[in-house]
């Protein structure tokens, strides 16, 4: 018969393993196909719902663009950079999702690079999404971006419904847009 000390040691190790696994699931989340709770974010807690105000110069047209011209529709805002490998991987899903969801507005923020790099990225990835230049990264910082890409899903009143940090596939995009619609 094993000693009481050995049994306690084994139980403690087992509980620590279960706690670590639970923490990993909460922090990392599931993949697009196995997400147990649509609309959950890549962060541990949902965003508070603060209003976002955002405008700047479009890298393609040079015109001033922003949320002010996108009233009344949910908005998907993606913060990216051409030098970010995960951003390039997300571009295909974002292009297809935007084409399939005309009821939503899409806006991107290209951070920490010049407009020419952003223009090349948009052309290479066939993205026709209006993109604000954020050469010094101040817009990304204001939005609380910690990882690229980061996608924010805004209600039609431009309040944050949810966000996803890291590459978002179509499943995450659908869940985020659903959260923005629900407001």
Predicted confidence (pLDDT) per residue in 66-108, tens digit: 998 888 999 999 999 999 999 999 999 999 999 999 999 999 9
In the chain, what percentage of residues exceed pLDDT 90?
68
Number of independent structural domains in the chain: 2
Say if residue 54 is in the same domain as residue 132. yes
So what's the pLDDT on residue 9?
Answer: 56
- Note down the domain range covering 162: 38-182
Q: Is the whole-model pTM more than 0.85?
A: no
15 and 80: one domain?
A: no
Instruction: Tell me: do 12 and 56 sit in the same domain.
Output: no
Residues 6+ apart with CB under 8 A from 54: 66, 67, 77, 107, 109, 132, 139, 143
Residue 36 region, left (φ>0) first, then alpha (ψ -120 to 50), else beta?
alpha
Tell me, yes or no, whether 19 and 47 share the same domain: no
Q: What are phi and psi of 51, to 5 degrees?
A: -75, 140
Residue 1: what pLDDT?
63
pLDDT in tens, 119-174: 999 999 999 999 999 999 999 999 999 999 999 999 999 999 999 999 999 999 99
Cβ–Cβ < 8 Å for 32, 170:
yes
Q: Are residues 108 and 168 in the same domain?
A: yes
Do 59 and 7 lie in one domain? The reply is no
Same domain, 82 and 163: yes
**How many of the other CB atoms lie within 10 Å of CB of 52?**
18
Q: What is the pLDDT of residues 20-61, one digit of tens each?
A: 443 333 333 333 333 333 333 333 334 446 789 899 999 999
- CATH assignment at residue 171: 3.40.30.10
What pLDDT is stored for residue 7 in this prediction? Answer: 53
Same domain, 23 and 42: no
Structure tokens at 111: 């951070």
Say yes or no: 68 and 26 in one domain. no
């Amino acid at each position: 018969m094993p000693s009481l000390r050995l049994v306690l040691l084994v139980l403690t190790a087992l509980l620590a393993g279960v706690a670590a696994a639970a923490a990993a699931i909460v922090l990392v989340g599931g993949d697009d196909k196995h997400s147990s709770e649509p609309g959950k974010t890549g962060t541990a807690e949902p965003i508070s719902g603060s209003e976002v105000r955002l405008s700047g110069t479009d890298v393609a047209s040079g015109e001033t663009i922003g949320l002010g011209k996108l009233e009344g529709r949910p908005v998907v805002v993606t913060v990216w950079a051409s030098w970010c490998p995960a951003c390039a991987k997300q571009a295909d899903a974002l292009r297809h999702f935007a084409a399939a969801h005309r009821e939503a507005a899409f806006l991107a923020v290209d951070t920490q690079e010049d407009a020419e790099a952003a223009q090349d990225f948009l052309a290479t990835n066939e993205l026709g999404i209006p993109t604000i230049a954020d050469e010094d990264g101040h817009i990304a910082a204001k939005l609380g971006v910690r990882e690229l890409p980061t996608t924010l899903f805004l209600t039609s009143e431009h309040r944050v419904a949810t966000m996803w940090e890291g590459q978002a596939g179509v499943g995450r995009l659908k869940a985020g847009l659903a959260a923005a619609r629900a407001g």
